[in-house]
Structure 1
Amino acid sequence: MHRLFWKLFLSFWATLILFSVVVMLSVSIYIDHLHGQQSPSAGFENISQHVAKAQSRADAHGVEGLRDWARNIDHKNLVPVLVLDNAGHDLLGREVSQRALERLHRHLQQQNVPDTHPNPIIRMANGDQYWLIPDFQSVTIGRFLSRPSVITLPLLAATLIGALVCLFLARYLAAPIERLRRAAQDYAGGDFSYRVGPSLGRRRDEIVDLAYALDNMAERLDTLIDSQRHFLRDVSHELRSPLARVHAALGLARQRAGNIITPELDRIEREADCLNELIGQILSLSRLETGMNAPIREPVDLTLLLQEVVEDSRLEAHAKGCAIDLAALPTATVKGDPALLHSAIENVLRNAIRHTARQTSVTVTLTIRHSDIENVCVIQIADSGPGVPELMLHKIFEPFVRVSEARDRESGGYGLGLAIAHRAIRAHRGEIQASNRATGGLVVTIRLPSKSG
């Protein structure tokens, strides 16, 4: 009985039952009220009021006034009040039941008999007379439902009870689903620490099963990713030793070769340098992901930092056959780790230089966006290369992701530079994203709060 299926089934079933009970009780009370009106005293009092009003309208407006009064009463009352002439014809042309005709016949027979209760008769100025006869046999469900003044209160009561039950059920279902949504967002952002199951208390249904399954998945993913990070870090550390021996052996080989230029040794040296750079990037990424060596917080002149990064990269740009355009920079200061920020911006700029077309330029701009909460420094680095497919824009900041294997290998990229930049910027409570330029090429936008703590 704790499963979600039964909770939904029983909740909706209970709502329908409550709705039906309220409507039935309302109808029952109203019908009891009508039965009470059939008693001589109650019927006399009610009909006397109708007779007085109908007679007043007839005296003032004749037959048409009496007809308007009959229409108005018929629209409001559940029990139709027939206006019959001596022949038994209704003034509004309504069907007359046999019992109503029998009551009319009794009134006609007793109209000259002295009685404590006067007959419900309406006398017209021309001598005609009409009789007000309530027709209880004409009370139907259709007539009940078509009378707003009668059905409104029961419907409102039933609707209110149903709404309260549905509100409780909606909150009961939505609360854990909202926790699941927040957990999924945290997991998507790389935070696997949140657990949904324990927060649901003693509840037992399919949603709880899903929550614990999600918790187990998060724990497993956290373990696997952590193992992967440690594996990459450990392997990188272990590779440093044989790589150092390769460099030492390479130096001995050059000494023995003397002044003879050996292309083979040059190739070994280049590959060893590439491997050393790759190991360094892997270690940097591992430190950022594991939170080791947390960035220091000190004022950083972002304007001066950008100028230094651009100046350091001009030689590489010149070798590629492109230029770097640095726009006039406003004065901007952020709090953070100068070395880490320098590395992040340099990785983005070097990536732009590698992929921009020859005889083009890479544009670097810095703007400050002011707001009531905090000012944001926005750095944009745009190239004139082929751009990135739209589906890959959110993936290029993941480790070892390459848009084009052949192109990235030719450009010397390992798929780690933007990943390192992404994690470095996030460590400073900033944002980094990429988008394609309308004129061609890729623009990477970095946002850093000017007062990050």
Structure 2
Amino acid sequence: MKSLFLRIFLSFWIAMGLILAGGMAITGSVLSYRMKALYEVNPDHLAREAREAARAGGEPALRAWLAGLRDRHPALGAYIVDAGNREIAGQKLSMLTADRLRAYRARDHWRATLGLPPAARTPIPAADATPPEYQPSWWNIRRLVLEDGRRLDLLFDPFALSELDVLDQPHVPWLLLLFCFLVSAPICWLLARTISGPVGQLRDGVRRLASGDLSVRAGRPLGGRRDELGVLARDFDAMAGRIHDLVATKERLLRDVSHELRSPLARLRVALDLARRGGSRLSTQLDRIERECERLDAMIGKILDVARLRGQPVHHRERVRLAELMREVVDNARFEAQAKDVAVRVAGTDDAVVEVERAALASALDNVLRNALRFSPPGGEVDVTLSRRDGRYCLSVADRGPGVPPDALPHLFEPFFRVADARDRESGGAGLGLAIAATAVRRHGGTVEASLRDGGGLVVRLYLPA
């Protein structure tokens, strides 16, 4: 089941349905049992009991007889009505019984109007004189005569007990309550276990993550679920993996920064020691100290740029024509290209307009372009192209340098990543240019990718939303 909401809803729905069906079955069974118990009761015998009570004690005895009859046969309704339509025990006649009584008395009134004798009941003959075709009936109205001559009508209703009346019977409410517990307990237990078990695992995972265990994961049992808890487990795994990567990146960044700073600081110490000795090479050592300080300043500036770009969203956007921005960055880099005898070719559309932070995007493209010029051989060429792909603008910079191993492509945009350390240091690189470019593009909702160029070289593509 894909939805936890649907699982909870169906669980309660099924439990309520089972309880309702079971309750109806129990009350129906009790009612059926009570009704079947009347099959063995002869209504004429009950009428004879009523006549004896009427002769013995009048109305009080009849009321006592009615009370005892309700205890003996709860499913049977019995009413004794006088000539004023008053039920002597204060009971309310059912609709069917009231209709029978009205029809019976209307027939007596019709006979009196025609001058016929009243339709008095003939006493039941003795057993040995009973006609073979006679059958006792609950629907016959029996006449009772008190000692003072008043006449009462005795009516039976074998269907007077309803399902709600069954609830007043002994043990039925307790039986229904027990059935509710038996049905709802396992369903609620399964539902609670379904929810509390995964939630407990996620809680333990969160506690372990908070204590510093970045390797914790929700695991396959939860990750394989297709409901909201499964989605939450996968999101938790993604969050834990992201936190692990961020912490690892931070630690690697601190390690790389300390390593990068240690080398120029060591050279500064050597140059400072030589400068203290004086002599003819003093000016040379001072120039070297100045170069190392400038290199440290540039490196620290780039480190701060990476941290600034990662920690801040884009605040000031402006409409920028990518073709103009691309030509401006290329014109600034052509001096370095001419010094290395590298040709820079530009191609692209002039109608590409985006809303970006101009300085950040220009810095990103400049870092990629200078990285390509740095590794291009003398007499080589760099192609800067603007195109549109899959609804996005693409700025690509392709060189004819030595390229990189295929397994290094996913790591090119990580801070301080180098394919060959010695070559990078000789060329003045610190492994931060592509990281700054990637961070700037991602801040604008874009992506970056690198691939090997056919015939040798590297292609770096910057994608921006159109």
TM tier relative to shorter chain: 0.3 to 0.5
Larger radius of gyration: 2
Please give the TM-score of this superposition, normalised by the length of structure 2: 0.43
Please give the TM-score of this superposition, normalised by the length of structure 1: 0.45
